[in-house]
Amino acid sequence: QSVLTQPPSVSGAPGQRVTISCTGTSSNIGAGYDVHWYQQLPGTAPKLLIYDNSNRPSGVPDRFSGSKSGTSASLAITGLQAEDEADYYCQSYDSSLSGSVFGGGTKLTVL
Amino acid sequence: EVHLVESGGGLVQPGGSLRLSCAASGFPFSNYDMHWVRQATGKGLEWVSTIGITGDTYYPGSVKGRFTISRENAKNSLYLQMNSLRAGDTAVYYCVRDGGSGYDSWGQGTLVTVSS
């Protein structure tokens, strides 16, 4: 059971928009800690996709965006492409655990 | 270019020990916090340990007292000493750089299998 809760899977057709939620508690996201998102393509290591809730590292397309409100965060992907098919993970810090916590991951399928 | 290369994984019996290494290059290693993150086959990511630039260390309860993270800045190397290994420790272990805002660089991972 992960500390941060994500839907196990989401899907969308090419060109569509999908969102992935990440729900935490008052000891992590709700406490004001930043949320980061990672994309893991099949058979590869995770890659930082969004940092500090809504910022994109250099090279990440602006089709990817992040937001945070209260005890939750969201990753939105617009203009879905086949290459976006991957697992997506949210991450934050938890003060009660004194360490980093991840969501369980969401598998995105492009139909 | 940042490069992180893990080594030292393999098959070990329950109760055994293993030491993972991570060779870092392409950045001033001593200036960055570093982490180990693991992923069991078909499962999600799990934070395993952190070492700060001053040598302070942090662990989740699942490995505290069994795993020890360390660094050797002169050799641009990160280590993870794993003792009293259990079947539940079976996973790919990633060496990860903390960019200050998220984990911005990951190695390719090394597989640890705990089985008799």
Q: Is B45 helix (H, G, I), strand (E, B) or coil?
A: strand
Among A46, A101, A98, smallest CA distance to A73 is for A101
Beta strand residue intervals within A4-96, DSSP E = 9-12, 18-23, 36-40, 47-50, 64-69, 72-77, 86-94
Q: pLDDT tens for residues B74-112?
A: 999 999 999 999 999 999 999 999 999 999 999 999 999
Share of chain A above pLDDT 90, in %: 98
Q: How far is B14 from chain A (nearest CA, A)?
A: 24
Q: Does A105 touch chain B (CB under 8 A)?
A: yes
Cβ contacts of A38 on chain B, cutoff 8 Å: 45, 103
Report pLDDT digits (tens) over B7-19.
999 999 999 999 9
For residue A100, what pLDDT is reported? 96
Beta carbons of A99 and B102 less than 8 Å apart: no
Interface contact B94-A48, CB threshold 8 A: no
Kindly report, residue by residue over B21-75, the tens digit of the pLDDT: 999 999 999 999 999 999 999 999 999 999 999 999 999 999 999 999 999 999 9
**Is A46 near chain B, with CB under 8 Å?**
yes
pLDDT at position A1 is 82
DSSP string, A79-96: S--GGG-EEEEEEEEETT
Other Cβ atoms within 10 Å of B9 Cβ, number? 17
> Tell me: the pLDDT tens digits for A20-58?
999 999 999 999 999 999 999 999 999 999 999 999 999
What pLDDT is stored for residue A57 in this prediction?
Answer: 96
Q: Which two tokens stand for residue B14?
A: 């329950």
Chain A environment of B60 (Cβ under 8 Å): 97, 99
The answer to whether A52 contacts B107, with C-beta atoms less than 8 Å apart, is: no
Residue B47 to residue A103, Cβ atoms within 8 A: no
